Amino acid sequence: MKPLSQTQALARLKTLKDNFKSEISQTFEHRAKSCLTCETKGACCLDAHFVNVHISPLEAVAIRQEIEALSPPLCARVETRIEAAITEYSLTADGDTYAQTFACPLFEKGIGCLVHNTAKPLACITHACYENERDLPPGQLQAEQERLVDDLNMRIYARRQPWLPLPVAIRR
């Protein structure tokens, strides 16, 4: 497998996610409730008993770039939320990290997801408020995208990388 630079991999990651977002949107999201009409905007992102989004190292780089491009006051608030989430929810890179849940530090009240259009994690792209379980995108779709992202990570880092809880992965 031919190595890639981080810049090349980030460009491929963006294309991969844009295509996945389009597929989910066109094929499944019309069956879900729109976030724009939600009575409790951000509830799914801030539910510390529900959120356990894991990301790859490459996704962490993409998210980190977006955080650093924010205004200094907003960036500082996000950094504070990242550290608070790690501490409050005892997040680590060890053990069964998929059992660790947390409130997402990337959700800003009044704005929404700060990386929604630029570096949204795969699990978040898949998520929507579906009333019927049969309307959900099949888990295999996300698993396939995760495999493709794993391949990009392999081409940069030359070995498999763990997917970590989002706050742990994006910690400065």
DSSP 8-state secondary structure symbol assigned to residue 107: E
pLDDT: is 103 or 172 the higher one? 103
Residue for token digits 């510390």?
A: 48
pLDDT value of residue 42: 81
Could you count the other beta carbons within 10 Å of the beta carbon of residue 56? 24
Residues 8-46: pLDDT tens digits? 999 999 999 999 999 999 999 888 887 777 778 788 888
Size of the chain, expressed as the number of residues it contains = 172
Per the listing, tokens 């880092």 go with 157
Q: Does the structure show a pLDDT above 90 at 118? A: yes
Whole-number Å distance between alpha carbons of 86 and 93: 10
Q: Name the residue with higher pLDDT: 61 or 39.
A: 61
Is residue 1 assigned to a domain? no
CB 116 within 8 A of CB 18: no
Residue-wise DSSP of 80-138: HHHHHHHHHTT--SSS-GGG-----TTEETTTEETTTTTT--HHHHH--EESSGGGSPP
Among residues of the chain, what percentage have pLDDT more than 90? Answer: 74
Give which of 122, 81, 119 is closest to 102, Cα–Cα. Answer: 81
Structural domains of the chain, count: 1
pLDDT at 132: 86
165 SS3 class = strand
Q: Which domain holds residue 157?
A: 6-170
| CA–CA gap between residue 83 and residue 89 (Å, rounded) | 10
pLDDT at 36: 72
Alpha-carbon gap, residue 17 to 93, rounded angstroms: 24
**What's the pTM?**
0.93
Alpha carbon distance 66, 159 (integer Å): 25
Mean of the pLDDT values across residues 78-99? 95
